[in-house]
Amino acid sequence: MHARARNYVSESEVCKLESVPLDFGDYHPLKPITVTESKTKKMTRKGSTSSTSSSSSSSMMDPLSSVLDGTDPLSLFAAAADPVTTAPPTDGARRKRDKDESSAVGSDFEPWSSKRGEILARYTTTEKLSIVSGGKATTTGSAVSEKVRTRLEELDDLEEGSQKELLNLTQQDYMNRIEELNQSLKDAWSSDQKVKALKIVIQCSKLLSDTTVIQFYPSKFVLITDILDTFGKLVYERILSMCVDNRVSLPDNFSPESVNDTAKETCLNWFFKIASIRELIPRFYVEAAILKCNKFLSKTGISECLPRLTSMIRGIGDPLVAVYARAYLCRVGMEVAPQLKESLNKNFFDFLLTFKQIHGDTVQNQLVVQCVEIPLYLTLYSPAIDWILQCIAYHAPDCCDDALLLNSVMSAFRAEFIAARSMDFIAMIKECDESGFPKHLLFRSLGLNLALADPPENDRLQILNEAWKVITKLKNPQDYINCAEVWVEYTCRHFTKREVNTVLADVIKHMTPDRAFEDAYPQEKFLPFLDMFQKESVRVEVCKCIMESFIKHQQESTKDPVILNALLHICKTMHDSVNALTLEDEKRMLAALINGFIKMVSFGRDFEQQLSFYVEARSMFCNLEPVLVQLIHSVNQLAMETRRVMKGNHSRKTAAFVRACVAFCFITIPSLSSIFTCLNLYLHSGQVALANQCLSQADAFFKAAVSLVPEVPKMISVDGKMRPSDAFLLEFLCNFFSTLLVVPDHPEQGVLFLVRGLLNVIQDYTWEDNSDDKIRIYTNVLHLLSAMTQETFIYHVDKVDSNDTLYGGDSKFLAEINKLSETVVSQILDHLKTLGKEETLKRQSQLAHYFFNTIVAHGDLRNNRLNQLSVNLWNLAQKHGFADTKTMVKTLEYIKRRSKQPDMSHFTDLALRLPLQSRT
C-alpha cells in the first residue's frame, strides 16, 4: 500500500476557510454567559431581609428597678419579718433633700431615696453586729469588756473619750444606734462642736471598712451614708451662711469670686482637716461628703476632685468596700455635677479592672470564714453596680458610651450574674441607639454569657425570642453570623429540636441565597459554629449552602490561608458525608461544589504551593471521583501553565516540578473506577507530559492506556442507562492514534511500538459480533500510517522530535509502515468479505465506501494496485444498491474536481473508471 505524499501547508492553504479576524479576548463562543449583576444582587438582598417582622414595641420597664422589684423572695421575706425596714426611717428633712437632689438631675433620674429602702429591705442579717460609737449613745449599759478596752486604746480619743464597742447587737439595734449617731451629729453641730461632729463622721465612715457580717454591708452602707449626707449638708449650709453679705444670700449658681474670704478660709480649713485624716476610707468618705463645698473655692474644684477621689478608691483593697465607695462617689457626683460623666465611667472601668479580685485568695478566705457562698456574695454587689450604671446611663450624651459599657459589663462579669439578668440586658440593649456601639456585638456578648451560664428557667424562651427578633433583622451577614453562631449554642442547650430547627432554618435562610460568604468565613468562630450543627445531614446542608454561595459570589481566585482552611474544612465535611447510601445525584452535586472551590484556588506564581494544595485536596477528597478528575485536570493545567511561563524551556527546577505534576497524575488516575475517564485522562496527561518533554513519562501514560483498552466493557452506564461502549471506544482510539503520530519511538523498543501494541490490543479485543467498529478503526489507522510516511508530519509538539525527524524518512521505517498498512488493509478486506451475506450487505456497502474514501484521500493512486483496489471498492459499494446515490455523486464530483489540481491528473483516469450506478 502506498500513501501519497502530502504537502500539508499548501493543502491547508487551499482548504482553509476564508479567515475572519476574531477578537478572542472578549468573545469566545464557549465562554459562559455572564451577566453583570451588581444591581440584581442588591435587589435580592433587600428582598430577603424584609421578610422579618418587627415587633419590638414591648413596653419598657426600668431595668434597674426590675432587678429589685417585689417578686424578690428575699425582700418579701424581709418585709414580712421586719416591719421597720418597710418604712425606712426617713424624716421630713431627708425627704425634702432628696427632692432637691433629684430636681438637680431631672425628675426622670431614679433618686437614691427609692433605692435606699430596697437595699435596706433586701440585705438583712440575723447575725449579731457590733459597732464602735461615740457620743451620747453609750448610756446603754453594756459591760466594758477587755476587748473594748484594747480597742479604746487603739482609737483616736474622741473628746468625750466614751466610745465603746457594742457587741451582740441585733440588726434593729444597730440601725437604731446609727440613727442615734446621726442625731448626735446634728446635736454636736448645733452646739457648735464642729470638731466633735467631724469625729463622729469619721468614726461612722470607719465602720464602712469593716466587712464582718458581709451580707449586711449594703444596708450598713445605706445607713452610714445617710449620716455622711447629713454632715455634707451641714457643712455646706454653714459655709453658705457665712457668705451672706448684707443679708443677701448667694444665688444658687454663685461663682467662687462672690464668696468672701472668711468663708473660703473656713472651707479650706475643712479640706485641710479632712486631708489629714489618717485612714483611707474615712478620708475618702468625708471628703466625698463635702464635695459640694468645692464650689466655694474654685469653679474647677469639683471637676478636679472627682477624678482624684475616683483613683483614690483604687487603694481600697476589699472589692466590695471599693465598689460601694464608688457608688457613693457616683451618687455625690451626680448630685453635685451630673455633667461630669468621665469620672463615672472611670469608676466603672476601674471596677471592672478590679473585678478579678473577687476570685482572689483574700476575698475567698473571707467568704469561707463568714460562710457566705459566692452567688450570695455577688448579689451584694448589685445595688452598687446598678447604681453606678444608672448614673452612667442617665442622659448619656451619646449612647455609644452606654452600649460600650453594657458590653464591657457583659464581658467582665461572671456569666451567672449576666444570665440571671438577661432579660434586663436585652431590654437595655434594645434601648440603645442604633447609631452607637453595634448592637450585634452586644447580643453576641450576651449570647456568650448565656452559653456559659443558664438564665432562669422561666425566661429562657422569652430571651431567645427577644434576642432572635433583633438578630434576625441584622442586615450584614457577617454581623448576623457573629450573633447567630453564639446563640445557636444557647438554643441547643435549652430547647428542643423544634426551636433548634427554627433557628437553623433562619441561619440558613440568611446565609444561603445572596450572602457574601467570602466575608463571613474568615471569622475564627465560623468553623466552631458549623461544628455546632450536630446532625450531620443538617451540617452538610449548611456546608452546601456555603459552598454554593462561595462559588456564586467569589469573583476571583483566592489564596487566603484562612479562607482556604475554612473551605477545606467545609468541603471535608461534605466529602465525609458520602457513604455507600449516598445517591449519585448527591455525590455529583457535592463533587461539583468541591470542584468549584478547587477551581477558585490559585496561589498565583507559587506553583509548588498550588501543587501541594492539590495533593492535600486529593488526600481529603479521595472518595469523590469527579473531584479527583478535576484535580488531575488542574494539575495538568498547572504543568502547562508552568510551560507557558517558562516559554517551553524548562529549567532544571521547573522540569522537576513538571515531572512531579506528571507523577501526581500517573498515580492518581488508576484510583478512578470509570474506565473511559481513566483512558481519557491517560491520554490527556500523556499529551501534557509530551508537551513538557517528559518523554518516558508520556510513554508510560500511553502504555498504561494501551494496556487498559482490553478491559473496556461492552456496555457502560451513561446517565444511569446502559449503553454500548463502542462509540466511546472508537472516539477514544481515534484520538489516541492522532496523538501517537507525534510520539517519538522509544529507542529501545521497536519501531512504532505503541501503534503496534494498540493494534494488537484492538485485534484481541472482543468486539461486538455485528459491528464494524474494528474496521472503522483500522481504516483510521490507515490515516495515521499515511501521515507517518510524510516527510514532515502535519503537526508537532514544540521541542519534541517526532519520528519524522528521528528517522528522517529512512526507507526501513517507511517499509515498516508499509508492512503494517498492508496487514491492516488485508484485515479490512477480510472483513468486507465476511459481510457478503444478505443481511449485512448494507454494512458492506458503507464500509467499502468508507474505505474507498480513505484511499482516495490518503493513498497514492498512481500505484496500480491501489488504483485497482479503489475501483473495486467503488463497485462493491454500489453493487447491491445500498449505496446512497447522492453521496456517490458527490464523491465523484470531488474526484473530478481534484483531478483539475496539479499533479492530480491520474484522478481523471480514475473518475472515468468509476461508473455511477443509476437507480433504475
Partner 1 sequence: EVLSGVVVITSKDTVQHQGISLTMEGSVNLQLSAKNVGVFEAFCNTAKPIQIINSTIEMVKPGKLPSGKTEIPFEFPLQMKGNKVLYETYHGVFVNIQYTLRCDMRRSLLAKDLTKTCEFIVHSLSQKGKLLPSPVDFTITPETLQNVKERASLPKFLIRGHLNSTNCVITQPLTGELVVESAEAAVKSIELQLVRVETCGCAEGYARDATEIQNIQIADGDVCRGLPIPIHMVFPRLFTCPTLETTNFKVEFEVNIVVLLHDDHLITENFPLKLCRM
Taking CB under 8 A as the criterion, the residue among 315, 375, 713, 750 binding partner 1 is: 315
353 near partner 1, judged by CB under 8 A: yes
Look up cell 467503488; give the residue: 874
Taking CB under 8 A as the criterion, the residue among 89, 317, 522, 724 binding partner 1 is: 317
What sign does the dihedral 67-68-74-76 (CA atoms) show?
negative
d(CA 392, CA 383): 14
* Secondary structure E strands in 645-719: 715-718
Of the two residues 246 and 276, which places its CB atom closer to partner 1 in the complex?
Answer: 276
CB 185, min distance to partner 1, A: 23
Scanning residues 267 to 286, which ones bind partner 1 (CB under 8 A)? 271-272, 275-276, 278-281, 283
Of the two residues 305 and 828, which places its CB atom closer to partner 1 in the complex?
Answer: 305
Scanning residues 818 to 837, which ones bind partner 1 (CB under 8 A)? none
Which range binds partner 1 by CB under 8 A, 352-360, 751-759, 844-852, 863-871? Answer: 352-360
Rg of the chain in Å (alpha carbons): 48
Rounded to the nearest 10 degrees, how much is the dihedral formed by the CA atoms of 99, 105, 111, 113?
A: -40
360 near partner 1, judged by CB under 8 A: yes
CB 153, min distance to partner 1, A: 17
The C-alpha cell at 910 is 480514475
CB 512, min distance to partner 1, A: 48
156 near partner 1, judged by CB under 8 A: no
CB 319, min distance to partner 1, A: 8
The C-alpha cell at 664 is 501526581
d(CA 313, CA 224): 18
Of the two residues 354 and 634, which places its CB atom closer to partner 1 in the complex?
Answer: 354
The C-alpha cell at 532 is 455546632
> Which H or E run includes 14?
helix 8-15
CB 561, min distance to partner 1, A: 36
Among 431, 433, 392, smallest CA distance to 409 is for 392
Q: Report which residue type is found at 585.
A: D
Binding mask 185-214 for partner 1 (x = CB under 8 A): ------------------------x-----
Which range binds partner 1 by CB under 8 A, 121-129, 351-359, 728-736, 892-900? Answer: 351-359
900 near partner 1, judged by CB under 8 A: no
Taking CB under 8 A as the criterion, the residue among 308, 493, 535, 799 binding partner 1 is: 308
The C-alpha cell at 858 is 490518503
Taking CB under 8 A as the criterion, the residue among 133, 171, 203, 354 binding partner 1 is: 354
Of the two residues 22 and 275, which places its CB atom closer to partner 1 in the complex?
Answer: 275
Beta bridge partners, 601, equal 558
Count CA atoms within 13 Å of residue 760 on its CB side.
10
Which range binds partner 1 by CB under 8 A, 57-65, 356-364, 427-435, 691-699? Answer: 356-364
Of the two residues 321 and 624, which places its CB atom closer to partner 1 in the complex?
Answer: 321
Scanning residues 242 to 271, which ones bind partner 1 (CB under 8 A)? 271
Of the two residues 385 and 681, which places its CB atom closer to partner 1 in the complex?
Answer: 385
Beta bridge partners, 717, equal 722
Of the two residues 274 and 740, which places its CB atom closer to partner 1 in the complex?
Answer: 274
Taking CB under 8 A as the criterion, the residue among 108, 257, 361, 457 binding partner 1 is: 361
The C-alpha cell at 138 is 453609750
What sign does the dihedral 284-286-288-290 (CA atoms) show?
negative
Of the two residues 81 and 275, which places its CB atom closer to partner 1 in the complex?
Answer: 275
> Which H or E run includes 716?
strand 715-718
Pairing relation of β-strands 164-169 and 129-133? Answer: antiparallel
Binding mask 529-568 for partner 1 (x = CB under 8 A): ----------------------------------------
Of the two residues 318 and 804, which places its CB atom closer to partner 1 in the complex?
Answer: 318
Q: What CA–CA distances, in Å, run from 1 to 817, 821, 874?
A: 9, 6, 17
- Convert 421-469 into a string of H (helix), E (strand) and C (coil): CHHHHHHHHHHCCCCCCCHHHHHHHHHHHHHHCCCCHHHHHHHHHHHHH
Q: Mind giving me the DSSP string for 188-215?
A: HHHTT-HHHHHHHHHHHHHHTT--SSGG
Which range binds partner 1 by CB under 8 A, 28-36, 309-317, 750-758, 882-890? Answer: 309-317
d(CA 142, CA 135): 15
Binding mask 384-423 for partner 1 (x = CB under 8 A): ----------------------------------------
CB 360, min distance to partner 1, A: 7
The C-alpha cell at 125 is 442579717
Count CA atoms within 13 Å of residue 868 on its CB side.
4
CB 328, min distance to partner 1, A: 15
Taking CB under 8 A as the criterion, the residue among 311, 749, 826, 905 binding partner 1 is: 311
Q: What CA–CA distances, in Å, run from 283 to 25, 207, 256, 288, 301?
A: 83, 12, 24, 8, 17
Beta bridge partners, 133, equal 164
* DSSP conformation class of 721: E
357 near partner 1, judged by CB under 8 A: yes
CB 339, min distance to partner 1, A: 23
The C-alpha cell at 676 is 473511559
479 near partner 1, judged by CB under 8 A: no
314 near partner 1, judged by CB under 8 A: yes
Q: Report which residue type is found at 757.
A: G
d(CA 675, CA 446): 57
Beta bridge partners, 722, equal 717
What residues contact 639, with CB distance under 8 A and at least 6 apart?
658, 661, 662, 688, 689, 692
Helix (H, G, I), strand (E, B) or coil at 167: strand
* DSSP conformation class of 903: T
Number of residues that bind partner 1 (CB under 8 A): 28
Of the two residues 310 and 382, which places its CB atom closer to partner 1 in the complex?
Answer: 310
Taking CB under 8 A as the criterion, the residue among 316, 563, 755, 781 binding partner 1 is: 316
d(CA 834, CA 106): 113
CB 304, min distance to partner 1, A: 11
Which range binds partner 1 by CB under 8 A, 347-355, 367-375, 771-779, 911-919? Answer: 347-355
Q: Write the burial class of residue 454 (CB in 10 Å: 0-12 exposed, 13-18 middle, 19+ buried).
A: middle
What sign does the dihedral 687-692-698-699 (CA atoms) show?
positive
Which range binds partner 1 by CB under 8 A, 58-66, 71-79, 304-312, 417-425? Answer: 304-312
How many angstroms separate the most distant Cα atoms in the chain? 152
CB 283, min distance to partner 1, A: 7
Taking CB under 8 A as the criterion, the residue among 118, 165, 226, 318 binding partner 1 is: 318
Which range binds partner 1 by CB under 8 A, 315-323, 412-420, 584-592, 628-636? Answer: 315-323
CB 365, min distance to partner 1, A: 9
Which range binds partner 1 by CB under 8 A, 188-196, 354-362, 421-429, 636-644? Answer: 354-362
> Which H or E run includes 168?
strand 164-169
Among 557, 554, 495, smallest CA distance to 519 is for 554
Taking CB under 8 A as the criterion, the residue among 1, 235, 312, 441 binding partner 1 is: 312
Of the two residues 27 and 272, which places its CB atom closer to partner 1 in the complex?
Answer: 272
Residues in contact with partner 1 by the rule CB under 8 A:
209, 271-272, 275-276, 278-281, 283, 308, 311-312, 314-319, 321, 350, 353-354, 356-357, 360-362
